[in-house]
Amino acid sequence: MIKNMRKTVFFIGSFLFLMSTGAVVKATGHVDLGLVKTITSKADFLKVRASGNNQVFIFTAKWCPACMSMKPTVERMARLFVGKIQFFTLDYDNPALGELFDIHVINGIPTFLLSDECSQTFLSHEGTFEDKKFEQALRRLIEQSCQKNTSKNRQINRNKTM
């Protein structure tokens, strides 16, 4: 009886933890912590891009087998880099995003656009990523520093030229 009670307490505790984190357990048993957000408009994209964070934008489609094969890797990387890099998807079939696909010259999907804290494109990668190479690219994104246009940086840059 105590053994069954422990199992019940464990499952209730697990459920409460998932609910407190905003996680959703789908029918497949997959836990979605909401770390990969979906962008649905150009205005949302521009707002997110200007937020001053390291970001990964994944141009994708629901009907794309290569895109679907990358989904577990993207979710794993989003968990690994939580708080350091934000992850977003943009759906090819959303007409509101067509202009973004044109502006960023998306010729194939999936395409990964890595953007630094200064909203500069750090890397554009068309096609799937091997887990190790994707992780290495994300680590390089974090390690590199953009040159934010602050008075302190302008002073440092002036001193370097003198």
Question: CA 159 to CA 162: how far, in whole Å?
Answer: 5
What number of other Cβ atoms are within 10 A of residue 134's Cβ? 20
**Rounded to the nearest 5°, which phi and psi values hold at 124?**
-120, 125
pLDDT for residue 18 is more than 50: no
* Cα–Cα distance, 156 to 151 (Å, whole number): 9
**What pLDDT score does 1 carry?**
58
Return the amino acid letter for 46: L
Q: How far is CA 90 from the centre of its chain?
A: 11
Q: Looking at residue 38, what is its pLDDT?
A: 92
Confidence band, pLDDT 50/70/90 cuts, at residue 81: very high
* 45 and 86 Cβ atoms separated by less than 8 Å: no
Average pLDDT across the chain, whole number: 75
Q: Mean per-residue pLDDT for 32-38?
A: 77
Rounded Cα–Cα distance for residues 138 and 62 (Å): 24
Range with the poorest average pLDDT among 58-62, 118-122, 136-140, 153-157: 153-157
pLDDT per residue as tens digits for the range 122-153:
888 999 989 999 999 999 999 886 765 444 43
Q: How confident is the model at residue 9, as a pLDDT?
A: 42
How many Å apart are CA 39 and CA 90, to the nearest integer?
Answer: 5
**Cβ 94 vs Cβ 106: under 8 Å:** no
Q: What are phi and psi of 95, to 5 degrees?
A: -60, -25
Judge whether 131 and 70 are in contact, CB under 8 Å. no
pTM of structure: 0.69
d(CA 93, CA 64): 11
What's the pLDDT at 85? Answer: 93
Question: What pLDDT shows up at residue 25?
Answer: 34
Question: Would the pLDDT of 113 be above 60?
Answer: yes
Give yes or no for a contact between 64 and 13, defined as CB atoms under 8 angstroms apart.
Answer: no
